[in-house]
Amino acid sequence: MFNFEDYSKNFEKIMSQSPFKIDDAMKSMMDYNTKVGKIALDTVKKNTELSQSWAKESLSALDPFVKGTEKPEDFMKIATDFVSSQTQSAPKHMAEFAEVAKKAQLETIDLIMKTGKDAQEELTKVAKKTTSSK
């Protein structure tokens, strides 16, 4: 009958004979996760800054509304100016967000490519070491 102790002993035997070191693999995975996390956090921070900037700009553009006016045509001019300024600033802000996304995408692709290359080199080393020791 199979029991947990047998399973543990067999697993330890397999792991001790494996050319791959679990500690090294975990370290590589943690390094990768740290780098991906840094890219994500930097992107979120930049997006937050851009959102705050856009919100402040939009709120500042609302100042003429609270000053009040007595003539309906003056109110219409204020509203038209607000809509016009928002229409002109939106593409600029959207382009800034697109640049942040593009930068994050490029950094992520670079990281994935480097990680793949490093993994391939490590596998080649292990394969050479394994075949030469036989």
Q: What pLDDT does residue 67 have? A: 85
How far is 14 from 25, CA to CA, in rounded Å? Answer: 16
Q: What pLDDT does residue 20 have? A: 59
Tens of pLDDT, residue by residue over 47-74, are: 999 999 999 999 999 998 888 788 888 8
Question: Could you tell me the pTM of the whole model?
Answer: 0.70
Return the percentage of the chain with pLDDT > 70, whole number: 87
pLDDT confidence band for 21 (50 / 70 / 90): low
Q: What pLDDT does residue 4 have? A: 72
Q: What pLDDT does residue 91 have? A: 96
Domain ranges of the chain: 42-133
Place of tokens 């001790």: 16
Residue 82 to residues 54, 69, 88: CA-CA distances in angstroms? Answer: 14, 15, 10
Identity of residue 44: V
Residue 116 to residues 29, 109, 125, 133: CA-CA distances in angstroms? Answer: 12, 10, 14, 26
pLDDT top residue among 61 and 125: 61
> Is residue 19's pLDDT more than 80?
no
